[in-house]
Structure 1
Amino acid sequence: MTADRHGHRMSNTGADALVHYERALDHLVFFRPEVVEAADAALAASPRSVMGQVLAAYLGVLGTEEKDAAAARDTFLRFRSGLDEETLTSRERMHLAAAAAWLDGDLHGAGRLLGDLTVAHPRDVLALFAGHQHDFLTGDAQRLRDRIGGALGAWEPDDPHRGPLLGMYAFGLEESGHYERAEEAGLEALARHPHDVWAIHGVVHTYEMRGRFTDGIRFLDARTEDWSDGTLLTVHNWWHYALYALEMGDAARVLEIYDAALHHEESAGVAMELLDAAALLWRLYLAGEDQGVRWARLADAWERRDDGAHYAFNDAHAVMAYVGAGRIGLAERLVADRQRWLAGAAPAVSNRAMTADIGLPVCRALIAYGRQEYGRAVDLLLPVRHRLHTFGGSHAQRDAVQRTLVEAALRARRTELARTLLSERIQLRPVCPYNWSAQARLEEQLGDPERAAAAREKAAAQAAW
């Protein structure tokens, strides 16, 4: 029986398939699109390779694409139907169970199984990568940090895969609020592999959360060739660049990035990229910027997907696009469809709770905001604001929803609530031009022009850093 580079035995996997499998893992941890070709080559060489089939199954779900997941599930079921699992290693059986749970929609069950797997096999790169992405998709910051942190002690300092693991750890640290340690881990990863786009992404998040927008732009500019083209994370890292530009008040640069990188005629139309485009335009929408043509094209792209209920986080961004384009009817149709789906969804399907508890309230609040029913938007968002993480994404991504609550409170003239929300934001992120510009508008509502002017000056000064 063959074994991978870390000594894990691999059933039904020939030498050629092993080479392709290892190459696929290298592509996977560095977010290279070539991972698909390498995974296919592994299965072409050994169609009954258990780990080759498991890898293909994970690739089917990691992108949150409903149709890809359905196709992967069909293939995986056919593979398992003729498989004698008693002949496999315990690690392979655990992977099969985790992949099956995820394909059946039980994300949380899959996450627990992957956690058990990495306790038993802390040097299983595929389990660590899939588990890390699972924790991101379910918004579990502590597991995002500790799943990787708990395994790193088993890795030798010179192992080539320790670098990308440090990049993953950086993101988990950042989402848990350990910004300096996260930056340190991310830079260590990049010292090993300068093209590690997930490590770049982790460091970029630390700058975002600390209001170091100029540092973030300089960091990305200095590494442009390492992240700006040809990776599965290219669009998302451009989104981060645009967020920096937005905070600094450079609207022209924001739109230049949007048109060149986030959404254009040649965009792939995948959910992960469309939601970045929606999240950026929604921030402009909250600021009163008219982006009618861009909204229309983005709404068209979401509508062409014709998604069913699969991942509530995606649904919220589709609704942003529909509301931004003035297509309230489409947004309401999506909400009605998800409400009907809930009636028949199995309790074990993780998206059921994600949709019922968070997705639908958020979608309804976005629609209410688009209808200028600001009080209703507040009433819908207020009960879920501390639980938004449970439907996935990062703090930076979910801030589009948190800002919607702030803007709705201001527009509904709920001044006491707006004061509380802005105080929370400013104490947590004192360097954030948006926070201070919103504070200025609040002070104007409260009838204090001097405090409004001071807040406005602070916002302008921070944008110029």
Structure 2
Amino acid sequence: MTSTDSDLAAERYRTGIDLLLSLWPGAGEALDEAIAGDPDFALAHAARARLHAISAQPTQAREKIATAQALVAHRGTERERSHVEVLALAIEGQAPKALAGALAHSDRWPRDVVILSMPLGAFGLYAFSGMADHDQARVDLCERHARHFGADDWWFLTYRGWAHGENGDVGLGRTLTQRALGLRRHNVNAAHAVAHVLYESGANDEAQDVIAGWLPEYPKDGVLHGHIAWHGALIALERGDTRRAIAIYNEHVAPSASQGTPINIISDTSSFLWRMQAYGHNVPEGMWNDAAHYASGYFRDAGFPFVDFHMALVGAATGDTQAVEQRVNALNKLVDEGRLPAGSVVPEICRASLAFAGGQYALAVRILEPVARDVVRIGGSGAQREIVEDTLLVALMRCGELKKAHALLDRRLHRRPSPRDTRWLNELLAAETAGGLSNG
């Protein structure tokens, strides 16, 4: 399976891969021990590179993958050379080639789950490909290779369940992800996937219980600790319990508290605070400035759609109109040059954030309505992208588009129960009856 004659290196590698695939702390140490046991073990260097990339350590990732490339060229099998090459393409930022390589590799060696994992997940190669149908593509990929995995394979159950849940089959998604978490409790991806499918099911009480019961077991320096807590904060916010929502945010999600990667910290902080404000609650003084101060150190260049949108939220909410407009202009240039696969939806939702933050709700509606269905192209999860629909819905209500707001709320409530949406619908019905609308 691996190019090493060292039993110790092979055992440490297998342990490290399990920890890497479950996102549990300790993967780096295990892989370092594998490398120490056999410094010529190319796949151990490659896995370490992958972990550095996930941990937003690009310099170390490039160094490790270069070592793996040199080693595998000298003594690697065809599978190992392909394995390292796909990882190298991803680390070098050649995402389309990495995706094509990962799919071709998985067709030949479907049990090589380090590579099969790369197109999957909310931040995987499919999600950030700009494709409008990447949710279905993940399902298709998992189903194509399902016969190669046992019924109790915790890794495959996690990602198969995630794929189905994100693609709308929340019942199957819930069954598979809960089974995965039962098989390997210290599996961050499974806990995360369960939180998502319960959210998409409207099972807020169960989701809160899962998060509250599981999160204390997960070390705070785990890469998704703050993000899973963010799910708990959203549940509290949906219930209108702003005190609990803010407490969770301050303890786990805020830049001063979270030890996650920049993409998670920026998206979690900006989307939580934006929701809170859009839902009609006061954001405590200093919170937006803290988020903006953190974000100012990252992602200055446009071209990463998921991040571009969240950076626009920060700029719009803090009055940095110039920064948002510069990002929009840069994104439009990329669109014109054919270098932004996600397309014009990206600059448009950034423009809409400025309009909404400035109280120009009718303008926000005019911008968002034509592109709302294309938001999936920015990647991330359904729960993360829902903030765009939330913004459209609130804008519709605030500019007096009662029928459109009512229709959107009906669609959302038919998809899943929501105390917030039910509250909004009742307020809307009262406003329609009275012939007016409050801004609450």
State the TM-score bracket (shorter-chain normalisation): 0.7 to 0.9
User: Which residue is 1:241 aligned to?
Assistant: 232
Paired AA for residue 137 in structure 2: R
Paired AA for residue 389 in structure 1: V
* Correspondent of 2:286 among 293, 297, 307: 293
| Offset, 1:76 | 3.7
Aligned-partner Cα distance in 1 for 2:175–2:311 = 36
**Matching of residue 37 in structure 1 with residue 24 in structure 2:** no
User: Which residue is 1:463 aligned to?
Assistant: none
Paired AA for residue 52 in structure 1: A
RMSD between superposed Cα atoms in Å: 3.1
Paired AA for residue 423 in structure 2: S
Paired AA for residue 214 in structure 2: R
| Offset, 1:248 | 1.6
User: Which residue is 2:190 aligned to?
Assistant: 199
1:15-414 counterparts in 2 under 5 A? 15-62=7-54, 65=56, 68-69=57-58, 72-73=61-62, 76=65, 80=69, 82=70, 85=73, 88-133=76-121, 134=124, 135-138=126-129, 140-157=134-151, 162-227=153-218, 229-268=220-259, 270-291=262-283, 292-309=285-302, 311-339=304-332, 347=339, 352-354=340-342, 356-414=343-401
Residues 76 and 186 of structure 1: CA distance in aligned 2, closer, same or farther (over 3 Å): closer
Q: 1:218-259 CA distances to partner (integer Å, 9 max, x unpaired)? A: 233343444474532211111111121112221110000000
TM-score normalised to structure 1 length: 0.82
Judge conservation of contact 2:316–2:354 (CA < 8 Å) in 1: yes
- Which secondary structure state, in structure 1, belongs to the residue aligned with residue 369 of structure 2? helix
Aligned-partner Cα distance in 2 for 1:391–1:166 = 25
Aligned-partner Cα distance in 1 for 2:229–2:84 = 35
Residues 38 and 228 of structure 1: CA distance in aligned 2, closer, same or farther (over 3 Å): closer
| Offset, 1:195 | 2.2
User: Which residue is 1:436 aligned to?
Assistant: 422
Aligned-partner Cα distance in 2 for 1:452–1:415 = 8
- Which secondary structure state, in structure 1, belongs to the residue aligned with residue 120 of structure 2? helix
- Which secondary structure state, in structure 1, belongs to the residue aligned with residue 142 of structure 2? helix
Paired AA for residue 119 in structure 1: D
Aligned-partner Cα distance in 2 for 1:402–1:227 = 32
Structure 2 gap ranges (5+): none
Paired AA for residue 409 in structure 1: L
Q: 1:277-317 CA distances to partner (integer Å, 9 max, x unpaired)? A: 21111110112322241111011000022532352101211
Residues 321 and 33 of structure 1: CA distance in aligned 2, closer, same or farther (over 3 Å): farther
- Which secondary structure state, in structure 2, belongs to the residue aligned with residue 132 of structure 1? coil
Q: 1:402-442 CA distances to partner (integer Å, 9 max, x unpaired)? A: 1111112222223343233223222222x112222333444
User: Which segment drifts farther, 140-149 or 44-53?
Assistant: 44-53
| Offset, 1:15 | 4.5
Aligned-partner Cα distance in 1 for 2:97–2:72 = 23
Aligned-partner Cα distance in 2 for 1:314–1:331 = 12
Give the number of aligned pairs. 431
Q: 1:199-225 CA distances to partner (integer Å, 9 max, x unpaired)? A: 122222122112111122223334344
- Which secondary structure state, in structure 1, belongs to the residue aligned with residue 297 of structure 2? helix
Residues 237 and 319 of structure 1: CA distance in aligned 2, closer, same or farther (over 3 Å): same
Judge conservation of contact 1:439–1:452 (CA < 8 Å) in 2: no
Aligned-partner Cα distance in 2 for 1:242–1:289 = 14
TM-score normalised to structure 2 length: 0.86
- Which secondary structure state, in structure 2, belongs to the residue aligned with residue 265 of structure 1? coil
- Which secondary structure state, in structure 2, belongs to the residue aligned with residue 333 of structure 1? helix
Aligned-partner Cα distance in 1 for 2:108–2:72 = 22
Aligned-partner Cα distance in 2 for 1:15–1:251 = 54
Judge conservation of contact 2:160–2:173 (CA < 8 Å) in 1: yes
% same residue: 24
Q: 1:167-187 CA distances to partner (integer Å, 9 max, x unpaired)? A: 222211211222222221122
Residues 267 and 209 of structure 1: CA distance in aligned 2, closer, same or farther (over 3 Å): closer
